[in-house]
A and B are shown apart, each in its own frame.
Chain A
Amino acid sequence: MPEGALEIDRISKRYGDVVALDEMSLTVRSGEMLGFVGSNGAGKTTTMRIALGVLAADSGEVRYDDAPVDRTIRSRIGYMPEERGLYPKMKVLDQLQYLGELHGMERAEANRAANRWTERLELSERRDDQLQKLSLGNQQRVQLAAALIHDPAVLILDEPFSGLDPVAVEVMSTVLGEMRDRGVPVVFSSHQLELVQRLCDRVGIVRRGRMIADGTVEELRSSGPVRLNVHAPKAPDDWAEGLPGVKVESHQNGHTTLRLDEQADDQQVLRAALDTGPVHEFSRTRPSLTELFREAVTEEPDE
């Protein structure tokens, strides 16, 4: 049973003048699933590649179970690169067995695991087919099996859900959930934020090579701006102007959406609304992950 946490500790990487990662840090604990979000080019893939040792960092360290990740530990990581790829002309079972052996498994053991995973991912009938003869969805399943074949202690998956059909998304979610429940730290990047919100225990938002927000979905949502929806039919257009910490986002037919920052007092807003006449609705909403993400990555666009 894997027990360790994966820690990425202030890794930096530059390509000439381009800073790809700037002291990026993140921790995924045992039995935790972390969603890694950020716009394209923010540094997610680079972070994962460094964690895998496919790339070398300029500085910083990657640790598993408090020890720097070395070759032995690396071979226990399950990895799914963003650019999917296996040998197109190799048979499914041979391919998985080969990868298992490269990860240090005995031949027979790798063969058993390959059989088990093809069965689990409903690929039993395609075992002896060349990969290129499989549908795209099935190829993705083989790719997942390739990441799981050696019973990894850590899972690092780059965009595992992209290009999957809804059924495959369910299969993938279930399998990842099972791995997490067995104590494996799971980290995956995704642009499908609803999926991240639904599956992940924690979310890390990355921008320009830095982690700018990291916490449980609840934590992130409650730390974000609060919105109020007020329905006061008799209120004039400017009823909320001048209230401290309040910004009017929209006003239409007596429906007003307000955005409150930390210094705003919602009770003061309520009183101001009641002063205009009847109030039919006064509700507080938390931003969705999508909104949080949008704000996080669009804030101060030119630093």
Chain B
Amino acid sequence: MDIFLQQVINGLVLGSVYALVALGYTMVYGILGLINFAHGDVVMVGAFTGLALLKALLAAGTGLPIALAGAALGAVLACGLLGVAIERIAYRPLRHAPRLAPLITAIGVSILIQYVAAILWSKQYLALPAAFTPATWQIGGASVTDLQVLIVLLAGVLMAALLWLIHGTKLGCAMRATEQNAEVAGLMGINTNRVIAATFLIGSALAALAGIMVLLYYGVAHYFMGFMLGLKAFTAAVLGGIGSVPGAMLGGLMLGLIESLASGYIGDFTGGVFGSNYRDVFAFIVLILVLVLRPAGLLGKAQGERA
């Protein structure tokens, strides 16, 4: 079995998920200058609502593809509403407050969502119904499942659609204008509050789909799963250059590959002292290196543009 190819495949899958979540961080940061630390928990809510819907639909006798589509749609709606509600209730009243206030609020929202989910569902790991046994193909000594292909393809389509939305539609133009100068955007007749709400809606919808991908890939959901995933996606956004949409995509994929390859080879390099259970370390090594060596990130804007 070819370890390198296998880790590249795994890294691409992981990276696709990171990229989808990183987009939510970077879009909100671009438009509000705020790190929405509750974003990882929106992913968790996506996984939980997706799981609940999936179980209900399968129990009602629905076929697997339709049950999956229904669960994805339901999770997108639930998370979209949640994202818009978070902005409206928690962040908008603090729009002109000192920066520390919304940051601490974001952490508070994150904890609130985690424990509401724990109460609503469970503090235990919830497993996927047994209906899922992905088909496996062998390619050049590595194995790839149909689920992995689906995740990477869907993430690619979503990212292409997002780029089209941002650069090819009126809403996207309004989003970019609001990001660059919200006051002047208002002078152009743009309802900037609505544009900001749309940004949260889009970011949260992507998070919902990422949550379902994680659920299907690992087979479990847990109320705390958004924490580590959120930190890693945030790292990916910083790696690509926070505020940059293509940066979040690139950063997500790179982080997935780095993590996957590093955890695949760490045993060989350290003579078995460290194993792949140290995989979470690499994201934060990357975060520290980026912050020290290139704080603006790979595709980031020059520093100092925003106060």
A and B: bona fide binding partners: no
Partner-B contacts on A (CB < 8 A):
none
